[in-house]
A and B are shown apart, each in its own frame.
Chain A
Amino acid sequence: MTAAVSLIVLLVVLGSSIAVAAGMGLVGQILNQLYSPMPLTRMLGELTWSTTTNFILTAIPFYIMFGEILLRSGIAERMYNALVQWLSWLPGGLMHSNIGSCALFGSVSGSSVATAATIGVVAIGEIDKHNYNERLFLGTLAAGGTLGILIPPSINMIIYGVMTDTSVPKLYLAGFIPGFILTLLFSLTVLIACLWKPHWGGEKIPTSWQARIRTLPDLVPPLALLMIVIGAIFFGIATATESAAVGIIGALAITAWRRRLSLTMLRDVCEATVRTTAMVVAILVGAFFLNVVIQTIGLTQQLGKLITAYQLTPVQVLTAVIVLYLVLGTFMEELSMMISTIPITTPLILQAGYDPVWFGILLVLLIQTAMVTPPFGINIFVIHGIRGRGTLADVEKGSAPFVVALLLMIGLICVFPDIAMWLPRIVG
């Protein structure tokens, strides 16, 4: 009963377009009034303070700042041109460079929107220049961009880690191989499409070994940052937050080397970072409060009992959760979907006997899928906006083959959990 009421209240409040942060706070307050034996609101001050001074969460503004600096450092364009030389001989040409660039940029960036926007702006002019099938080309950018949150670092993994008390370095390790496989699956999708319809693949781009060698220095900055940011975590030298801080200094050094460092640039970086951070933190404060209320009124136990009563098997619970995310993901903004559902779904999954690290990776894959499924897919909006012509439906249709690849990846990780769990096991 409590569960049903809570869910309805949450849906009504968030559905009425109340800001997600305030909405979750409000629902927390309502449930507190209805069901809690003690006034939990009194904890709100202490809760906000302890949440926002959490050292692990500091990684979020650091990664956002890191991305803002990278954007202004000019490494993306050079990196893309280098990968064009190395990857465009494949059937599908530049579309493989798109996916490769997204994967490489994703391995220094913690955000999918930033990855799609950055690579998208660099690549989009090539569609007309080389006569590509526009839809598929757009799809590679929208879907490739989602790799930003699967390949570590990842802002979404940090949020999941903090909310569920799961080790962020382990999540990073677990995301690595699935990220690699998914990149290959995306490329394979392009390959199959272009072997079937060769004219989709555009005109050949002249490449030569000399040109390839010449572009190598342009790959050094992103690879060096990747080594610093990810290497430091993998080898246990630094925590996720520390490595993000080192990444900021590294990105600043590259910006200075390219003579692009200025006070105006720093001011813009600071302002943009704080605005985005505040938006994320506001939702987190609301969610942490709601989380405390949910736990106090025993909502999770109630759901757990429900599952026992209906004698649901772990696989059934998992299937239900996956379907829930696929449905919610079509119309809900991705970040809010993740934060508002974690307190409910994660305990259920853990109770069913699944590993929290493994579920974190599955959740990220589901969020990626949500980012490229209409009507609300943030990456579709981003790529459509960059293109500046045609209809949203073009990007949606172009992304469809990659949604199939994502669903395949979700299936793979469910059947072979070791794809995610092998690396954290041997390193940890």
Chain B
Amino acid sequence: MKRLQAIAEGISRGGAIVGGAMLLLAAVTICIDIVLRYAFSLTVGGADELSGYALAIASAWGFSAALLSRSHIRIDTVYVRVTKRARATLDLVSLAAFVFFAALVAWHAWGVLRQSYVSGSHSLSAIEMPLVVPQTLWFAGLAFFVAVALLLLARALFAYLKGDLDKLFELIGSKSAVAEAEEEIIAVERAFDSERKQ
């Protein structure tokens, strides 16, 4: 299961990078669109639509990356004030709730995708995008998220039953806000360090 998670981490990291690249590309497209509009009075259209797809796909794939790095926000006012065992239980309940809601979303997303496929829907715009294309990528990201969440839940449950609570916290524990802040700072410092070296 450990190897499975390593693979999942690789895929979700790749998904995040590709998603980010799509967003960057969308930004470039929008700029070209603006230049054409003001310099040559040309309206090409579609840039706004494409960036919408980029956001949907990038965030669907980003959900799992955020879950694996424990970045999803949780209110830990109670969490930090209870026993270790209770904290571990709360972690399991939290992840189970996430699996439930994510599965619900993915299931109904599948319905949306199927509907687009059956009726052959195209977007109501100049580019007439067949909706199946972006929606497939979007749904794949959501489905992958559910799979990753299930894998984590299985591993955490296993650790819980074995009594290895530290392992469980490492997998799905709530990061304290202080730890979150520290990560932000490390990112900033790393950026400045690379500057000083030059």
Q: What's the interface size class on B, roughly?
A: 35 or more
Chain B residues within 8 Å of A22, by CB: 72, 94, 97-98, 100-102
Q: What's the interface size class on A, roughly?
A: 35 or more
Chain B residues within 8 Å of A189, by CB: none
Would you call A248 and B24 a contact (CB within 8 A)? yes
Q: Mark B93-109, 1 if CB is under 8 A from A, else 0.
A: 11001101110110111
A388 to B: closest C-beta gap in Å:
9
B38 to A: closest C-beta gap in Å:
7
Is A333 in contact with chain B by the CB < 8 A criterion? yes
The docked-state distance in angstroms from the alpha carbon of A246 to that of B35 is 10
A233 to B: closest C-beta gap in Å:
12
Would you call A249 and B27 a contact (CB within 8 A)? yes
Would you call B77 and A15 a contact (CB within 8 A)? yes
Is A213 in contact with chain B by the CB < 8 A criterion? no
B163 to A: closest C-beta gap in Å:
21
The docked-state distance in angstroms from the alpha carbon of A19 to that of B110 is 24
* 9-residue interface stretch from B3-11, B13-21, B154-162: B13-21
B198 to A: closest C-beta gap in Å:
7
A75 to B: closest C-beta gap in Å:
10
Q: Mark A330-350, 1 if CB is under 8 A from B, else 0.
A: 011101100000000000000
Contact of A242 with B90 at beta-carbon distance under 8 Å, contacts A29-B104, A58-B26, A333-B73 already known? no
Is A117 in contact with chain B by the CB < 8 A criterion? yes
The docked-state distance in angstroms from the alpha carbon of A282 to that of B71 is 11
The docked-state distance in angstroms from the alpha carbon of A269 to that of B17 is 9
Is A20 in contact with chain B by the CB < 8 A criterion? yes
The docked-state distance in angstroms from the alpha carbon of A17 to that of B88 is 11
Chain B contact surface mostly: helix
The docked-state distance in angstroms from the alpha carbon of A57 to that of B77 is 30
B111 to A: closest C-beta gap in Å:
5
Is B189 in contact with chain A by the CB < 8 A criterion? yes
CB < 8 Å neighbour of B16 from A48, A246, A275, A376: A275
Is A212 in contact with chain B by the CB < 8 A criterion? no
Is A14 in contact with chain B by the CB < 8 A criterion? yes
Chain A residue at minimal CB-CB distance from B184 = A117
Chain A residues within 8 Å of B198, by CB: 259-260
Would you call B112 and A55 a contact (CB within 8 A)? no
Is B192 in contact with chain A by the CB < 8 A criterion? yes
The docked-state distance in angstroms from the alpha carbon of A19 to that of B26 is 30
Is A44 in contact with chain B by the CB < 8 A criterion? yes
Is B181 in contact with chain A by the CB < 8 A criterion? yes
Within 8 A of B (CB), among A35-82: 41-46, 48-49, 52-55, 57-58, 60-62, 65, 71-72, 74, 77
Is A274 in contact with chain B by the CB < 8 A criterion? yes
Chain A residues with a Cβ under 8 A of chain B: 13-23, 25-26, 29, 41-46, 48-49, 52-55, 57-58, 60-62, 65, 71-72, 74, 77, 113-114, 117-118, 120-122, 237-238, 241-242, 244-246, 248-249, 259-260, 266-267, 269-279, 281-283, 285-286, 331-333, 335-336, 375-376, 378, 381-382, 384-386
Known: A18-B97, A62-B27. 20 other contacts (CB 8 A): A16-B93, A17-B91, A21-B101, A22-B100, A61-B55, A65-B23, A121-B185, A121-B189, A238-B34, A246-B30, A246-B34, A260-B194, A274-B62, A275-B65, A277-B23, A279-B72, A279-B73, A333-B177, A381-B178, A382-B181
